[in-house]
Amino acid sequence: MPAPPTAALHDLPPAPLCVGFSGGLDSTVLLHVLAAAGSPHGLRAIHVHHGLHAEADRWAAHCERACETLGVGLTVIRVNVAPTGEGPEAAARAARHAAFESSLSSGEVLALAHHRDDQAETFLLRALRASGPEGLSAMRRWRSFGPGRIWRPLLDVDRDALLAYAQAHGLAWIDDPSNADTSFDRNFLRQRVMPLLRERWPHAADALSRSAALCAQADGLLDDEDARAFAHVGTADPRCLSRTRLLALPQARRARVLRRWIQTLALPALPANGIERIEQEILVARDDADPTFHWRGATVRAWRDLLHADVARPLLPDDWSVDWDGRTPLALPGGDRLALEGTAGFDAAVRVHARQGGERLTRTGRSHSHALKHVLQELGVTPWERERLPLLSDGDGELLAAGDLIHSARLDAWLRERGARLTWDRDGAAHAATAAAGN
C-alpha cells in the first residue's frame, strides 16, 4: 500500500534542507509537507531556470510566490543547457544537477520529489538499456551528492496520493507542456506504456518499484566484495588497474569492478556496450598494442599490464612552439600549464615545443646523450603521455626537459642551485575535457 505524503518524513534528517523546486505537482507537495513539518536546521528551495520554454520566466515567478507564501527562501539559478550527445532530457538533467551541486552547502541535504511512479519508469528505462543490479536499483532514497546528500522521501508515494494532497490543501502548481511530448523516452513510458501495464496489472508501478528495491538489496550485498576486488586490482595511480589481476577475476565481478572504477574517477558512465568493448578490445590486447576505447570525452587504454582511464586529453599540435622566460606560468594548447617555481625565471628564454622525433638529452650522471624515446620507454612513460609531452630547449636547440618528467644534467644542476622546480600541470586539461563532456 503506497504511503501518504505526510508519512514520508519518517527519516527526516537532522540537517539543513534544500528542496529542488520546479513548481510542478511533485515538488510543490514536497515543499508544502516539509514546510508544515518544520525543520529546526533550516529549509530553503532552489529553482533551476533552464530557459528552454517560453514560460520559464513565469514559472520562476510562480515559484517565488509559492515560497514567499510558505515563508521559505528561494534561490533561482539560470543555466545554459549544453548538448551532451544523449538528448535534451539528459542535457537538462546534467545542467540541473550541476546547479544543485554548486549551490549546496557542506552537510546540507537536497530533497528531491521523485515518487513511486518515477521509480517504476526509471526501472523500465534501465531495463531497456540492459542494466545490471546496480542500474536496476533505479533511484536510491539516500545517496552522497557533492558536499551533502540527496534525499528522496516520496519514493514510496504514488502520484495519485500527491494529487489528492495538493487538492486537499488548495495548492497551485505548474503543468509543463513538454511532459506530454512522447518523443522523450520517459514521457513515452508515462503516457503510453504505463497506462497499458496498469490496464492489465493495476499494481504494475508498485511491483516495478519493489523490484528496484530488491535489486538495490542485491547490489548492496555485491558491493562489499566489489570493494575488495577493486582494491586488489588497483595500482598506486587511481587511473590505472592491473590487467593481469583483472583477468584473474570472474567475468561478472570484473564488469562490476570496471564500472566502479569509472564511477570512482567521475568519468561519464560507460555506454551499454562499454564493458564488452573493454573486454574484447582492450583487456586482451598485446602489451605493446596501445588499444583505445573512446566514449563521451573519456578514454580507456591499455599498455603493458596497465589499464588506464581518463578524460580524453588533446595533443600538442606538431608545429606548436613558443618562447618562455619562466617568469609566469605558461598555458599550453589544450589546457595544460607549465610553471617554474622557486625562482624569478630562466637566465634566458627557452623554447617550448611539441616532440618532433629524434630528440636526445644527457641526463645527470651519464657521460653521453640518449634518445628521448628510449629514456621515456625506460621510465615507463605511457604512449599517450608521450604524445602530449611539452619539450623545453635552449636557443641552440639543446633539449633541456620533457615536461617535468625528465631533466637534462644541465637543467637539473641549474634547478638544484636555486632550489627551484619545473612543474607540468595536467589537471586543467582534464577539468576542461570533463566539462566539455557534460560531467
Binding-site sequence positions: 22-27
Helix or strand run (H / E) with residue 247: helix 243-247
- The CA–CA distances, whole Å, from 234 to 227, 241, 382, 400 equal 11, 5, 17, 34
- Type of residue numbered 239: R
| Sheet hosting strand 43-49, strand order edge to edge | 73-78, 43-49, 17-20, 109-111, 148-151, 142-145
Residue appearing with cell numbers 612543474: 423
Residues at the annotated binding site for ATP?
22-27
What distance in Å separates the CA atoms of residue 16 and residue 355, rounded to the nearest whole number? 53
- The CA–CA distances, whole Å, from 392 to 248, 338, 366, 411 equal 42, 10, 19, 10
List, in order, residues 6 or more apart from 340 with CB less than 8 Å away.
326, 327, 346, 420, 421, 422, 423
- First and final CA of the chain: distance in angstroms? 38
Q: Are 328 and 346 in contact (CB under 8 A)?
A: no
What distance in Å separates the CA atoms of residue 187 and residue 121, rounded to the nearest whole number? 9
User: Angle formed by the axes of helices 251-264 and 204-233, to 10°?
Assistant: 90
What distance in Å separates the CA atoms of residue 9 and residue 2, rounded to the nearest whole number? 14
What distance in Å separates the CA atoms of residue 135 and residue 59, rounded to the nearest whole number? 33
Q: How many CB atoms sit inside 10 A of residue 102's CB?
A: 11
- The CA–CA distances, whole Å, from 237 to 178, 240, 335 equal 45, 6, 21
CA 133 to chain centre: 20
